[in-house]
Structure formats: C-alpha cells, structure tokens
Amino acid sequence: MLRPPTIEPNLASPELKDMLDRDHLGLGEIPSFLGILAKSPAAAVAYLRADKALAAGQLSERQREQISLAVAEINGARRCLQAHAVTGGNAGLSEEEIRSARRAMAPDPKAGQILRFTQSLVLQRGEISDEDLCALRKAGCTEAEVIEIVANIALNIFTNYLNMLSGTKTNFPAANGR
C-alpha cells in the first residue's frame, strides 16, 4: 500500500508498545503519526529516543515548539502545524507567538534569531553563511544550542515528511490559520 495505515498499538512489539504507551509526548493520547511510525519499530524507537534526548537538552520546550512551527510552515505540513499549535500552547506559547513562529519570528530576541536561523537552514538546505551563524551566536546561542537547533530541525523534517507521505489523520483541532 502506498500510504501506510496506522498500526494498532496492541499489535506493536512489546518494547515498542511499552514506549508508545509511556512516551506519547505528554499529549494524553498516542498521536496518529506514532501509529504510522510503529510500522517500522527501528524508526519509531529512533524517533522516540531522539525526541526524549532533545527534550532534555539546552533548548527550552518553547524554543523547540517554535522551531517545530517554523519548519512545519516551511514544509507545508498542515497536520504538524495543527499538532504544534496545540503542543506549543501547552508549552506556554500564546496564539500570537504561535502565529509569529510560523513566520520565523518571535518577540524574544534570542528566539527570533533561532527562528531566522531555522528558516535559513531549511530553505538553504544546510548551506548557512558565516553571517547567519555569527548572528545566532551574538544572540547568545551556545555551540550545544546550535547543534540542538539543527537536530530539532532534522527531527521535524522527518515527522513532516512522514505525515505528508502517509496522509496521517490528526488527533488535533485545526490550526485556524495560526
């Protein structure tokens, strides 16, 4: 089948079922895309471990959600925009901050620079000028944060593409043009 259907969590391997039950991203229910991802236990475990590791990194949950919104907007990933509008709100982003993040903007100067860098990195496929990198560093980003920004972008591109490929049905309300 070209568009992989979701797997029922009870059909997953015991290790993966445990991870899906435990690590459903704090959303109260297992997101639909994890049911797609579970078709490849290796990919599901890799995603869940990477997400958990990055959540414990130096970027705040708000910054990670802002990156997610910017990347989903660039990629036209509607389902991911819906999901991150909800999870961004849960992370404390206001409606205006969510709309701004989609445009790679933020009222906080450091977050704004992170989002401009995110947009440049995605649109330029990793080819960043020294000026872009210097601007990020001048905004106060450490080397570890720069690497985590790239890792978060990569993880979001993966989920954007998987959701778009799969035609994943979302568990989240529409983003209402945010």
For the cut 60, the answer to whether the pLDDT of residue 7 exceeds it is no
For the cut 90, the answer to whether the pLDDT of residue 102 exceeds it is yes
Domain-located, residue 4:
no
Domain-located, residue 81:
yes
DSSP three-state, residue 56:
coil
Task: Give the predicted TM-score (pTM) of the model.
Answer: 0.83
Q: Are residues 51 and 70 in the same domain?
A: no
**% residues pLDDT > 70 (the chain):** 77
Q: Are residues 46 and 78 in the same domain?
A: no
Q: Are residues 46 and 69 in the same domain?
A: no
**What's the domain count of the chain?**
2
Q: What is the mean pLDDT of the chain?
A: 84
Instruction: State pLDDT tens for residues 45-72.
Output: 899 899 999 999 999 999 999 999 999 9
Domain carrying residue 35: 11-55
DSSP three-state, residue 91:
coil
Is residue 119 a contact partner of residue 157, using CB atoms and an 8 Å limit?
A: no
Domain-located, residue 173:
no
Residue with tokens 């591109």: 157
Domain-located, residue 77:
yes
Of 34, 62, 75, which Cα lies nearest the Cα of 160?
75
Q: Of the ranges 13-17, 31-35, 169-173, which one carries the lowest mean pLDDT score? A: 169-173
Q: Are residues 18 and 67 in the same domain?
A: no
CB atoms under 10 Å from CB of 51, counted, come to 15
For the cut 50, the answer to whether the pLDDT of residue 11 exceeds it is yes
Computed on alpha carbons and rounded to an integer, the radius of gyration of the chain in Å comes to 16
∠ at Cα 151 (175, 91), nearest 5°? 40
State both tokens at 83: 């999901």
DSSP state of 104: T
**pLDDT band with cut points at 50, 70 and 90 for residue 39:** confident
**Measured between alpha carbons, how far is 141 from 143 in angstroms, rounded to an integer?**
7
